[in-house]
Amino acid sequence: MGHRRRPAEPRGGRSVAPQKAAGRAAGGACASDAFYPFPDGVEAAAAAGVAVVVQPGGSVSDEKVVTRADELGLAMVFTGERHFLH
Domain with 65 in it: 23-78
Which strands, in side-by-side order, build the sheet including 29-31? 29-31, 52-55, 75-78
For the stretch 33-79, pLDDT in tens is 888 889 999 998 998 899 999 999 999 999 999 999 999 999 999 99
Is 63 part of any domain? Answer: yes
- ∠27-32-36 over CA atoms, to 5°? 100
Judge whether 75 and 46 are in contact, CB under 8 Å: no
Is 16 part of any domain? Answer: no
- The reported pLDDT for the residue numbered 8 is 54
Is 84 part of any domain? Answer: no
- ∠9-24-31 over CA atoms, to 5°? 45
Is 11 part of any domain? Answer: no
Residues 15-26 have a mean pLDDT of 75
Task: Specify the CATH number for the domain of residue 62.
Answer: 3.40.140.20
Among 29, 62, 59, 66, CA closest to 45: 29
Tally of domains within the chain = 1
Is 28 part of any domain? Answer: yes
- The reported pLDDT for the residue numbered 82 is 81
Is 57 part of any domain? Answer: yes
d(CA 6, CA 28): 34
Look at 9-13, 28-32, 60-64, 70-74 and tell me which has the smallest mean pLDDT.
9-13
Rounded to two decimals, the pTM is 0.73
Q: What's the pLDDT band for 4 if we cut at 50, 70, 90?
A: low
- The reported pLDDT for the residue numbered 25 is 84
Is 3 part of any domain? Answer: no
